Structure 1
């Protein structure tokens, strides 16, 4: 059973969502502002649903603070049209966002897609994917580059795993959105672009100073071969 922390000041909505998620088998705890949410966060939480507009500490500032210590997956809940908040949220390490209003079905699909990326069989904990100076351990959700542990969010980890599994192959945004985010790419959706940008910043430069991930305008991205 996955543990979900719901941080939203709309008590009517949180009550409804808690009922829906509990019925689907999730263990749900709730907080009605950012400060309370940060206090409630612990190692047992598998996923955070985080609203943007809240009193005391808004969702963006809450995300910024929790990313200083935690890499727990975060699904941002944003009001329709809050494009700037979505972009900033992704830049700060949110795994995905869902505009309000949303259906129960869409919310559950996003939650399950994120949890699938973070849940691996224990007996595969030591399996390793390796390419050049990068090592990825899917079962442990750990990645190393030049022997250094990379501080990646779950989505960045999933992106790197995809690239390592398909070096030199063009990955379109449509494919990455389905494989990594578990959703179809919609018009003006910049989530994949932001996650790739964040991943690039966290990967050390290659010895030859060539980019590790190349952008192919109008086509997608690829992991550069030797």
Structure 2
């Protein structure tokens, strides 16, 4: 099996070496660059399976690198994990809205970092669930056609918005969805939803999920995700 290619974009030597060492130890093929300009040239020269992208870079910053990749039809499917410093919550939200897949905050555990990398690569190869098919995750089953959700076989009494939020989160376990992304998905059905109301909907949804309430994880300052045990 061919080793998956990972491009690390990080200008701090010690962190770059930490990432390179841990990824190489897991048998990934790793290329490291230290500027946004070099990152874009490398991506164009050899498309990686994943980009690990520091947001604070000299020259072209990480957000603009992310934007360039995600707006290029030939490159936009490349998954991106952002590496951020504390206090960059607004940048995290912006990056996720652009299409980045996940993020880790400095300082981070190498073990957790590798787990995030594997989860993102695994999700890249997983087919999206059929819109009209039954989605089953853990003790939860969701039937879009019937607009019905059950926990351990028991039907849940959900509002339209609660059902849509649950369906969106459960369709991609481990993915972080910002409040804005959830709002946009629901507004597509011409329902009035705001960022603040998403929080209230989550509170109500968790109550109805009962023992399974912890399936929905709050990502502080960013949004929500369906808990990924892996």
TM-score under structure 1 length normalisation: 0.63
Any gaps of 5 or more consecutive residues in structure 2? Answer: 134-141, 150-161, 207-230
Q: Deviations over 1:170-195 (max 9, x none)?
A: 5677x94896217xxxxxxx745344
Distance 1:16 1:68, change over 3 A: same
Query: What's 2:38 paired with?
Result: 36
Do the aligned residues in 1 keep the contact of 2:96 with 2:178 (CA within 8 Å)? no
Do the aligned residues in 1 keep the contact of 2:22 with 2:114 (CA within 8 Å)? no
For structure 1, which segment, 12-21 or 192-201, has the greater mean C-alpha deviation from structure 2 after superposition? 192-201
Distance 1:96 1:60 in 2: 13
3-state SS in 2 of match to 1:219: helix
Distance 1:197 1:22, change over 3 A: farther
Q: Could you say what the CA RMSD is over the residues aligned between the two structures, in angstroms?
A: 3.6
Equivalent runs, 1:127-146 vs 2, <5 Å? 129-131=130-132
Distance 2:54 2:143 in 1: 31
Query: What's 1:25 paired with?
Result: 27
Any gaps of 5 or more consecutive residues in structure 1? Answer: 136-161, 183-189, 222-226
Do the aligned residues in 1 keep the contact of 2:97 with 2:178 (CA within 8 Å)? no
- The structural deviation recorded for 1:55 is 0.4
Distance 1:194 1:73, change over 3 A: farther
- The structural deviation recorded for 1:96 is 1.1
Q: Deviations over 1:21-62 (max 9, x none)?
A: 111111111111111101111564111100011101111111
Query: What's 1:87 paired with?
Result: 93
Kindly tell me the number of residue pairs found equivalent between the two proteins.
Answer: 173
3-state SS in 1 of match to 2:173: helix
Equivalent runs, 1:208-223 vs 2, <5 Å? 209=190, 216-220=201-205
If each structure's helix is expressed as a fraction of its own residues, which one has the higher value? 2
Distance 1:115 1:22 in 2: 15
TM-score under structure 2 length normalisation: 0.62
Distance 1:129 1:163, change over 3 A: same
- The structural deviation recorded for 1:217 is 4.6
Do the aligned residues in 2 keep the contact of 1:96 with 1:191 (CA within 8 Å)? no
